[in-house]
Amino acid sequence: MNPRLNVTRIRSLIRALATVSGAAILSGFLSFGVRADGVGPLSIAKQGYFFVGGNYVNKTGGEVLAGHAYVDYQIPKDLKHPYPIVMIHGCCSAGSSWNGTPDGRDGWAQYFLAKGYAVYIMDQVGRGRSAYVDSVYGQNNPKAPKFVEREFISYERYNLFPQAKLHTQWPGTGVVGDPLFDQFQAMMEPDFKDRTLRETFNRNAGAALLDKIGPAILMAHSQAGIYTFGIANDRPKLVKGMIMVEAAGSPFHEIANIGAPDYFKDEGMSKPWGFTRTPVDFDPPIVAPTDLVLEQQKKADAPDLAKCWLQKEPARQLIKLKGIPVMLLHAEASFAIPTAHCGAAFLTQSGVQNDFVKLADLGIHGNGHFMMLEKNNLDIAAVIADWLAKRVTPNETQNIKK
């Protein structure tokens, strides 16, 4: 969408918002401020949307368009950084998870806009405003409320992994029927059952997004890490940083949290290329993932951690990812923390320098997997901003185009 074609509509929207909340004011052509609790006024110079990726596919009854992803963007009036942040949500939400919280506080999109970053938010293929094309994507996999309660929000009630009892930061009770839980459940979207197909489409759409907007910082949550590693492999020169928000857990094998006394169950090979189900480049090159020689730790690094599957040394190198600043961000009480160290170890042995950041080590306690929605979400955003200032900002050498 070209914002210049929508001035009347935008001004009408602003007047409506001002009537409802008294928070919106017009401040020049396509530049307006909206009060954002916790962040302050946001002055947006330009906003809009577009679609990336996708192809026409012949199906019974005619062609359909599939594989496309919706992207919306906002560019702050005070643009301080040349590289935008591309936010890619995980399972099983859509891009709305970056735009606020169930209890109405600011989200990470607002935070980073206030810090002077342009923000692009992608709805995964088949989610949100990226339409689900049944005839191509096949059967979907909706998430039942009790599943969401147990796996995403109320870990402390189920104790399926050792750190679950530490979870304290969800803003509501975390149970079905609580208004804030219901807001979160309303965000849940059906997902592809075919994981490889889902990965292929999103990897291609992400690469197409970078081709359109140029160099960017990728911020991935959870499931989106699989796509993001593939995108970085395919467009390494366009990826200026990778913020992996619990998006680089156990490589190769899936590990299930099953509760005491064993806590962890190895569910076998799921990501044969390390973090991905589709090919990435190793050095020395491999023809098939079976060329990788793997071994599991005989003993876990700590009693509350799972045993890692890693390459047997000497490890092949992930050559396309070398030189890209990578942050692995993990919460204290998430289901992802028992395998978080495995992802860091796999990247390190594969020649990819990474900063493994555990919030608990920084004095930030009690967070779960959806940390961007929890009570202290902006404290965590500040950790990311600090990392960007140290690891990415020094490399911002191109001119900022406003």
Alpha carbon 161 to its chain centroid, in Å, reads 23
Whether residues 196 and 68 fall in one domain: yes
Whether residues 2 and 89 fall in one domain: no
CB 116 within 8 A of CB 79: yes
pLDDT at residue 397 in the model: 62
Angle between the N-to-C axes of helices 195-213 and 224-234, in degrees from 0 to 180, rounded to the nearest 10: 50
Domain holding 240, by residue range, is 50-395
Whether residues 29 and 164 fall in one domain: no
Within 10 Å of residue 314's Cβ, how many Cβ atoms?
9
**In the structure encoding, which two tokens stand for residue 3, read together?**
């914002």
Does residue 211 sit within a domain?
Answer: yes
Report the CATH number at residue 263: 3.40.50.1820
Does residue 67 sit within a domain?
Answer: yes
Does residue 401 sit within a domain?
Answer: no
Within 10 Å of residue 30's Cβ, how many Cβ atoms?
19
Within 10 Å of residue 297's Cβ, how many Cβ atoms?
14
Tens of pLDDT, residue by residue over 73-88, are 999 999 999 999 999 9
Q: Please name which of 159, 146, 90, 79 lies closest in space to residue 119, comparing C-alpha atoms.
A: 79
pLDDT at residue 23 in the model: 30
- Name the residue with tokens 């609790």: 37
Whether residues 197 and 301 fall in one domain: yes
Q: Catalytic one among 93, 97, 130, 222?
A: 222
Whether residues 112 and 20 fall in one domain: no
Q: Please name which of 354, 332, 333 lies closest in space to residue 342, comparing C-alpha atoms.
A: 354
Whether residues 164 and 30 fall in one domain: no
Maximum CA extent, the chain: 65
Whether residues 253 and 138 fall in one domain: yes
pLDDT at residue 34 in the model: 37
Parts of the chain with a pLDDT under 70:
1-37, 397-402
Whether residues 106 and 235 fall in one domain: yes
Whether residues 131 and 238 fall in one domain: yes
CB 127 within 8 A of CB 259: no
Whether residues 64 and 205 fall in one domain: yes
CB 132 within 8 A of CB 65: no
Is 43 catalytic? The answer is no
Within 10 Å of residue 186's Cβ, how many Cβ atoms?
11
Give the total number of structural domains in the chain. Answer: 2
Whether residues 20 and 62 fall in one domain: no
Whether residues 17 and 157 fall in one domain: no
pLDDT at residue 398 in the model: 55
Q: What pTM did the predictor assign?
A: 0.89
